[in-house]
Amino acid sequence: MELIRLGDKIISRRKIDQAVGEILSLRARGLSQTEVAARLGVDRTLVCRLESLGEIRKGRGLAVIGFPILNKKEVEDALEQEGVDLVFLMSVGEYWEFLKQKSGLDIFDFVMEMIAKVHTYDQLIVIGSDQRIKIFEAVLNKEVVGFEIGESPIQEDRFVEIDKIVQLVRAIKG
């Protein structure tokens, strides 16, 4: 057993290696960062930072996030046909239902996980209001391709023209 002295503490390298292995194993099996953290009694941010430390390359892919989308199913189908790696779209009804079912902490954890996940993609398209697109750019501190469907605040679902979103995806993917 390799022991390391850090000031007054004695640290077991084996214990750390086992914990890291368990975290990665659970994540590879599909558990969310929040679920892994809860199961192992660690902070979710530890799981997120551990993944960032070990990351060899980022996604090389494209993510599309959109709200509020009237023809959500059609848009999802078109984006999946175009090979978009991550598609996350919501209608106004789904948004309100999500908020009703979750606690503030659950919502915060979800948002943090989505931010971390979106950072793994090379390109992000945001379908939404002018202000929502600007918020994504500021929060992610990276280039965001906006597909504006109205001025903020948007109160109702908006129709997304399939041909236009497909053209944009094809232009980005080259």
Q: Are residues 94 and 76 in the same domain?
A: yes
Q: Are residues 103 and 158 in the same domain?
A: yes
Examine the pLDDT at 60 and tell me if it is beyond 70. no
Q: What is the mean pLDDT of residues 141-160?
A: 94
Task: Give me the number of domains the chain comprises.
Answer: 2
Q: Which of 153, 117, 136 is nearest to 66 (CA)?
A: 136
What confidence tens digit (pLDDT) does each residue in 3-41 have? 999 999 999 989 999 999 999 999 988 889 999 999 999
How far is the C-alpha of 146 from the C-alpha of 132, rounded, in Å? 9
Computed over every residue of the chain, the mean pLDDT equals 91
The rounded radius of gyration (Å) of the Cα atoms in the chain is 20
Q: What is the mean pLDDT of residues 56-62?
A: 61
Q: Are residues 39 and 97 in the same domain?
A: no
Q: Are residues 88 and 26 in the same domain?
A: no
**pLDDT in the model for residue 103:** 95
Q: Give me the long-range contacts of 117-121 (CB less than 8 A, separation at least 24).
A: 117/63, 117/86, 118/63, 118/65, 118/86, 119/58, 120/55, 120/58, 120/59, 120/61, 121/58, 121/59, 121/61, 121/62, 121/63, 121/85, 121/86
Q: Can you give the residue range of the structural domain that contains 84?
A: 62-173
Q: Are residues 40 and 76 in the same domain?
A: no
Last residue of a domain, one of 54, 71, 92: 54
Examine the pLDDT at 57 and tell me if it is beyond 70. no
Whether the pTM exceeds 0.85: the reply is: no
Q: Are residues 50 and 69 in the same domain?
A: no
Q: Are residues 83 and 38 in the same domain?
A: no
Q: Are residues 77 and 132 in the same domain?
A: yes
Q: Are residues 116 and 45 in the same domain?
A: no
The pLDDT confidence band at residue 59, using thresholds 50, 70 and 90, is very low
- Give the bridge partners for 63, in sequence order: 86, 124
What confidence tens digit (pLDDT) does each residue in 99-130 have? 999 999 999 999 999 999 998 888 999 999 99
* CATH code, 144: 3.40.50
Q: Are residues 138 and 157 in the same domain?
A: yes
Examine the pLDDT at 56 and tell me if it is beyond 90. no
pLDDT cut 70: percent of the chain above it: 96
**pLDDT in the model for residue 55:** 62
